[in-house]
Structure 1
Amino acid sequence: MPCCDCSSEEAPANDPHWRRALWIALAVNAAMFAGEIVVGLVSGSQALRADALDFLGDSANYAISLGVAGSALAWRARAAVAKGATLALLGMSVLVSTAIAAWHGSVPHADMMGVVGIIALVANGGVAVMLFRYRDGDANRRSVWICSRNDAIGNIAVVAAAAGVFGTGTAWPDLIVAAIMAALGISGGWQILRHAMRDLSEARSARESVSI
């Protein structure tokens, strides 16, 4: 999904409000991963499994962000590189699992998909609103916002997929949404990597100017 370039103005890296928001987001995402992966496996929904993997990736995202908060720009950019690469890899793994599921052709349980999708939407919507004020700044903060935004969009798609499965009696709405979520993950990972490389270049230039 396309996004605007981030502002170059940087907020305080170790802001206690930012850290508190990250801890809340980490707790919400870890809990949602544990619940959604179980329901995804039981219901046979690829979209729920994709969303659960996204929750897992975001939990790691928030944990890394907490670890580098207050560090130099170069270290925060390196952390963003790791997160961007991980997000892209998760997206590719979802594409592979979705292709395998399409080959087998099993139909997921629409009712379970819908209930869990709505719960996940409420959880991710709350996190996205909480983190909206931190969407600008360095690549590390930007990566957190991108993940939260993509999650909320993905949850809306999961609910739509549940309605589609219920209405058509086929697995195709679930598979299509899983593929879209995978594409969002790959796109978001690329956006994070691009911004992180720009921050690394900025940090390198700053070091060179100081050495001169």
Structure 2
Amino acid sequence: MPCCTSCSSTPPAGPRFRRALWVALFINVAMFAVEIGAGIKSGSVSLLADAVDFAGDAANYGISLAVLAMGLTWRSRAALVKGLSMAAFGIFVVAKAGWSAFAGIPPEPLTMGVVASLALLANAGVALMLYAFRDGDANMRSVWLCSRNDAIGNLAVMIAAAGVFGTGSGWPDLLVALLMGALALSAGVAVVRQARQELGSVSVQVPTQIL
């Protein structure tokens, strides 16, 4: 019976996925440090949101590495935690953008654009590495969704920087931050839904294994 929780039609990922996760982990930690400093310096909500996202992704990659060799039950539980954290990040970004709207101080667009371009290169590389694993279990899918959303977010921050530069207003930055929050919420809901389905399928298999 103890092996029932590890029985799955989707086996744990191999060494290629593990190596990709380690690379992604180091890239996300480095970019978090860069973006948190740039976000504070420039006053950009979207850069700060992206920095928090990098930190969350680094934690998610660490969790993924910890459960790679485990059965589907543990990998799905990890994905459930990650999905909830992605949704929580989305709520945080929306709240932060709402608070910043009252301040009315536009961010510095040059720093936004340069750092967003660097972050886009980093995330595009990570997304390319993880693209082959996008159709795996909920744990693998959550990793792919994180990298995909990051790349989309970086493009959006670059557009926001151009908007701030052209208009002298902080609204493009706030709108992009809201978009990033919506993406995180959407991805979080998708991962939680798949993780719950996988946990449900494992619980159905347990009586069969006992018999």
Query: Under a length normalisation based on structure 1, what TM-score does the superposition of the two structures give?
Result: 0.94
Partner-residue secondary structure (3-state), 1:13: coil
Aligned to 1:129: 128
Paired residue type of 1:184: L
Aligned to 2:84: 85
Residue-by-residue CA offset, 1:98-147 (whole Å, 9 max, x unaligned) = 10100111110000000000000000000000100010111000000011
Equivalence map 1:175-186=2 (5 Å):
175-186=174-185
Aligned to 1:193: 192
Equivalence map 1:1-212=2 (5 Å):
10=10, 12-212=11-211
Residue-by-residue CA offset, 1:156-211 (whole Å, 9 max, x unaligned) = 00000000000000000000000000010111110110000011011111212111
Residue 9 of structure 1, CA deviation? 6.2
Percent identity between matched residues is 52
Partner-residue secondary structure (3-state), 1:108: coil
**Alignment partners' CA distance in 1, 2:198 and 2:105:** 45
**Alignment partners' CA distance in 1, 2:106 and 2:136:** 43
Aligned to 2:4: none
Number of residue pairs the alignment of both structures matches: 204
CA contact (8 A) 1:9 1:137 kept: no
Query: Under a length normalisation based on structure 2, what TM-score does the superposition of the two structures give?
Result: 0.94
Structure 2 residue runs without a partner (length 5+): 1-7
**Alignment partners' CA distance in 1, 2:156 and 2:54:** 15
Query: In the superposition, relative to structure 1, how do residues 103 and 135 fare at CA in structure 2: closer, same or farther (>3 Å)?
Result: same
Structure 1 residue runs without a partner (length 5+): 1-7
Aligned to 2:5: none
**Alignment partners' CA distance in 2, 1:159 and 1:147:** 19
Paired residue type of 1:64: I
The CA RMSD measured in Å over matched residues stands at 1.1
Aligned to 1:4: none
